[in-house]
Structure 1
Amino acid sequence: MDVVSQYVRVNGLNMHYVTAGEGPPVLLLHGFPDTHAVWRRQIPALAAAGFQVIAPDLRGYGKTDMPPDVGAYAIDFVADDVLQLMDALGIERATVVGHDWGAQVGWHLAMHAPQRVSRYAALSVGHPKALAKSGINQKLRFWYMAVFMTPVLAEALLRAGNWAALRAMNRSREQQQLWIDALAPQGRLTAALNYYRANLKASGGKRWKPVDVPVLGVWSEHDPALREQQMLDSREQCRAGFDYARIDGVGHWLQLSGADRLNTLLIDFARSPAAVTPA
């Protein structure tokens, strides 16, 4: 299965993406500190199952341009990049799959551009309202975000000891090296951290609303940052149906250590009935 690397102009930026397969479109949106490469075990599986798979490097990551201003990494802009990518490819509606910050982008699209989303698979991160209401135990797991929001300090800590903190996030040497190669070039690490700096201080609560597209929530047992309850509580925010799947024995990067189970879930979900197109 050929995976093709391409570029498109969106919002004044050169966006890099890879694509494979033919059929109904499936968009894969990565999070921190990843690039499209985190989907390397999903892309061939989905393409072989009869889907057109598109996996972009979100702004600031990989081979996509990185705006210099912190505010340029607000979710509104990142989501609009995805919509413009769809426009450029002639895609009216797609199945959207998001992980980590990519999941936040996916929820934003499901809330504010439901006419472009056939169905949405949220990996690890639940609906923003459910996450905000998830209680003190969840907030304690987000201790690292205070560090990530601190310029210079965060960059220094992550680079220290030959990227020791980054390496500690995943035991796969292949994945560790992919992260380091992507974040080592000048400005790339700061661009990735700007997702935290641009969005966590903003008050988005007034814009959070229920979604009217079918949702699949997937959570993994050993995720150190996100508790299961925030995903389960997302059901209350999903008016067109919410299916839940738990993948046991794997950590935050379920695309890698839980690939077989996740691929089956995503293929079955992408074949399920889509949302009714709004009038």
Structure 2
Amino acid sequence: MQFPRQHRNRPEDSGLQWRTTMVDGAPSRYLVGGTGPGVVLLHGFGLANRTYRKALEELVRRGMRVHAPTMPGFGGTGELPADRTSIKGYAAWVAAFIQAVGITEPVTLIGHSFGGAVAIMTAHDSPDLVGRLVLVNSVGGSAWVDGRGTLVAMTRRPLWDWGLHLQADLLPVPELTRVLPVILRDGVPAALTHPRAFWRATTLVRTANLTAELAELGRRGLPTTIVWSKEDNVIPAAATQTLWAAHEEIRTITVEGRHCWLIADPTRFGEVISEALTFTPSTGAA
């Protein structure tokens, strides 16, 4: 297979470079750098790859080859067609991206928040491309505890509750000083530049239930690590627990911090991913 020509920008001191490739006939900019095991990071809802730059630099410093695309509808990448705006549609785009940049070995696919749901579906639908899965404060769980303390389906969680808890997630320091500026820089432009894609993705965040796909990945023996932070106000513990319960071979890591802890503490993120790379389930996976 021939891959589209990639255009390079001037290398950065961090070892990361901006490049552009064609995915499904449209240009997509991405960050790439480092040498070693291949890692692809999928960003969260309303954000972009540059939001995670310091976290990516930490992975490069630890000896990983990192690719970080900006998914459709965010950070300047064109939105998906309406009939493909689904978790499956995003997963198909990620698979096309991995092939377009010429990655030939199965990658460690890391998904944060909304990117976690896309990562699960990508691993499910394109098993030859993904050798390991790391879900960081991931969307895709099926349960939520409402204001009365009742466990209900995540689809019943109103949009205002997501926004209220995201606001609460950003209030403490260092989250306020480290995370809020990048949310404002990357999230607000996404809503203004691609409003239709932004609101369609909002619906996907609210309705995504990937527990069945995650259970299937367990049956296949895919090494899977779920990372969740103790003070996450955006993804509730009940939702994460339904992901943990999808199959017995999932490795779980609990860290300090809130929903965007990996932006606030890139060093800890590097430690967590290094640990995840050593995990092999007892089923004898890849």
The reply to whether TM is greater than 0.5 is: yes
In the alignment, what sits opposite 2:136? Answer: 123
Change (3 A) 1:49 1:181: closer
Change (3 A) 1:13 1:40: same
Structure 2 unaligned spans of 5+: 1-13
Change (3 A) 1:165 1:140: closer
In the alignment, what sits opposite 1:42? Answer: 55
**1:15-62 residue CA offsets vs partner (Å, 9 max, x unmatched):** 221011012210000111211123223211111221110111110111
Identity %: 19
The one of 8, 12, 17 equivalent to 1:4 is 17
Note the 1:95-174 alignment, pairs <5 A: 95-125=108-138, 128=140, 131-133=141-143, 136-137=150-151, 139=153, 143-145=157-159, 170-171=170-171, 172-173=176-177
Change (3 A) 1:189 1:142: farther
Indicate the RMSD between aligned Cα atoms, in angstroms.
Answer: 3.3
Instruction: Give the TM-score taking structure 1 as reference length.
Output: 0.77
Note the 1:207-246 alignment, pairs <5 A: 209-211=215-217, 212=220, 213-238=222-247, 241-246=249-254
Instruction: Give the TM-score taking structure 2 as reference length.
Output: 0.76
CA–CA distance in 1 between the matches of 2:23 and 2:112? 21
**1:181-229 residue CA offsets vs partner (Å, 9 max, x unmatched):** 3333743344222212357568988867521311111111111122224
Contact 1:111 1:209 in 2 (8 A): no
CA–CA distance in 2 between the matches of 1:247 and 1:22? 27
Q: Provide the secondary structure at the position in 1 that maps to 2:268.
A: helix
- How far off is 1:167 after superposition? 6.5
Q: Provide the secondary structure at the position in 2 that maps to 1:210.
A: helix
Change (3 A) 1:44 1:142: farther
Q: How many residues align?
A: 257
Structure 1 unaligned spans of 5+: 149-157, 159-163
Contact 2:37 2:65 in 1 (8 A): yes
Matched to 1:16, the amino acid is R
- How far off is 1:235 after superposition? 3.7
In the alignment, what sits opposite 2:89? Answer: 77
- How far off is 1:165 after superposition? 10
- How far off is 1:100 after superposition? 1.0
CA–CA distance in 2 between the matches of 1:23 and 1:257? 25
- How far off is 1:13 after superposition? 2.4
Task: Using the TM superposition, name which of 113-122 and 255-264 deviates more.
Answer: 255-264
